[in-house]
Structure 1
Amino acid sequence: MSDPRSTSPAVRVVVAVLLIAPFVVYLAVPSYARVEPRLAGFPFFYWWQLLWVILTAVFIGVAYRLSRRARPARPADEEDD
């Protein structure tokens, strides 16, 4: 298993922000607990949450790719004969 400290600090900060941002938004309920503006008849509360479900998936995917790209390549496991 690769050492998690081998990634650069800047990449780790970006990954952390991408993973924490959705939680901060979800916890700020008073900021989106309202009916207006409506989108296709749906109250703001519902479409805002649905938007953030999709954005959370995108954020997690980007964080995963950044963390995988920042890791050094591991040598292939050699079997002992």
Structure 2
Amino acid sequence: MPHKDAQSTRPVVRAVVAVLLIAPFVIYLAVPSYAKIKPRLAGFPFFYWWQLLWVILTAVFIGIAYALTRNGGGRTPARDQADEKGE
């Protein structure tokens, strides 16, 4: 029998995963907000270093989303079946 804690956290985990996966696309599509030269970072115009920063952040966000879906709040169907059988 599934634990109620796992059942109640699944929608929250799914919402967090959705935000983590959608946020980079929203940032990438908001070009007018970062289509500028200043401030510069190590000589690079803002436009370039902002995009590079978001490439790295996107990879981090996807990794976190993967970890959250992989763990599934600590419960999986296989674990639930094992608990039912008393294993």
| 1:66 to 2:43 alignment | no
TM-score scaled by length of structure 1: 0.81
Which has the larger helix fraction?
2
Distance, in Å, in 1 between the alignment partners of 2:46 and 2:61 is 22
How do residues 1-80 of structure 1 correspond to structure 2 at under 5 angstroms? 8-70=10-72, 71-72=75-76, 74=78
How far does residue 18 in structure 1 lie from its aligned partner after superposition? 0.1
How far does residue 73 in structure 1 lie from its aligned partner after superposition? 5.2
Identity within the alignment, %: 76
The total of aligned residue pairs comes to 70
Distance, in Å, in 2 between the alignment partners of 1:29 and 1:21 is 14
Q: Which amino acid aligns with 1:63?
A: A
Identify unmatched segments of 5+ residues in structure 2: 1-6, 80-87
Identify unmatched segments of 5+ residues in structure 1: 1-5, 76-81
How far does residue 74 in structure 1 lie from its aligned partner after superposition? 2.7
Q: CA RMSD in A?
A: 1.6
